[in-house]
Amino acid sequence: MKLCFATNNTHKLDEVSSLLGVKMGLLSLKDIGCTEELEESTGTISGNSRQKAEYVFKKYKVSCFADDSGLEVEALNGAPGVDSAIYAGPQRSHEDNINLLLKNLAGVINRKARFITIITLVTPGLVKQFKGTVEGEILHAKTGSAGFGYDPVFKPNGFSKTLAQMTMDEKNKISHRARAMTELINFLTSHPI
Ligand code: ITT
């Protein structure tokens, strides 16, 4: 089976390759010759996920899936949400984004947040979405150095450590992306492409 994961984020590619294990081979964007930045301009996580997958499917004629993810903080009315990657500006700096988040939450008691992922699978004649979330809270300072993005300040409910203090295997048991991926894998298992 030829299935491409339409992401330029190498951390995501590693996480998802590790989740898929030997179950199925996965092509990267590089493998199919796609070197351009994928546009994310719909204004929603679901729309951006679909936009990326459909672009790659149409241009490169390969079955593929894309994910779009974000962090939704209750006290910030769901921000940074769809703008998670560019929260502090177009430089897409994880460090700047975390610093701005902590600044905007200074003195705020309600630290509830969740990560959300929506995966869109596009194959000939099919467009289907899969969703995963993980609930947690934003800590007051960074802890841990694994993972990426907001992982050092996100503590999932029921755990005493951040996602950045977990191994990839631990994160892959509970993360939003892992949960959405499990839905995708279950679908692919019963509907081989
Ligand atoms: P793509 O090439 O797949 O678009 P991206 O880095 O732009 O990669 P997303 O738009 O899906 O990724 O995610 C937006 C941001 O949300 C991302 O840059 C991180 O800051 C944050 N994020 C997403 N998943 C995360 C995770 O598992 N842990 C920490 N932060 C995450």
Task: Provide the pLDDT for residue 1.
Answer: 62
Residue 177 CA: nearest ligand 1 atom is: 27
Q: Which residue has the higher pLDDT, 189 or 77?
A: 77
Mutate which of 7, 15, 19, 69 for ligand 1? The one with the most ligand atoms within 8 Å of its CB, which is 69
The answer to whether 132 touches 178, Cβ cutoff 8 Å, is yes
Mutate which of 8, 17, 84, 96 for ligand 1? The one with the most ligand atoms within 8 Å of its CB, which is 84
Residue 12 CA: nearest ligand 1 atom is: 3
pLDDT tens for each residue of 95-127 = 999 999 999 999 999 999 999 999 999 999 999
Measured distance between the N- and C-terminal CA atoms of the chain, rounded to whole angstroms: 7
Q: Report the separation in Å between the CA atom of 169 and the middle of ligand 1, taken as the mean of its atom positions.
A: 18
> Rounded mean pLDDT of 123-142?
97
Q: Is 31 a catalytic residue?
A: no
Q: Structural domain of residue 31, as residue ranges?
A: 2-190
pLDDT tens for each residue of 26-54 = 888 999 999 999 999 999 999 999 999 99
Query: What's the pLDDT band for 24 if we cut at 50, 70, 90?
Result: low
DSSP letters along 145-186, please?
Answer: -SSSTTGGGEEETT-SS-GGGS-HHHHHHH-HHHHHHHHHHH
Any idea what the CATH number is for the domain that residue 86 is in?
A: 3.90.950.10
> Rounded mean pLDDT of 4-9?
88
Residues whose CB is less than 8 angstroms from the CB of residue 127 and which lie 6 or more positions away in sequence, other chains included: 50, 53, 54, 120, 121
Ligand 1 in contact with 175 (CB < 6 A)?
Answer: yes
Whole-structure pTM value: 0.90
**Number of separate domains in the chain:** 1
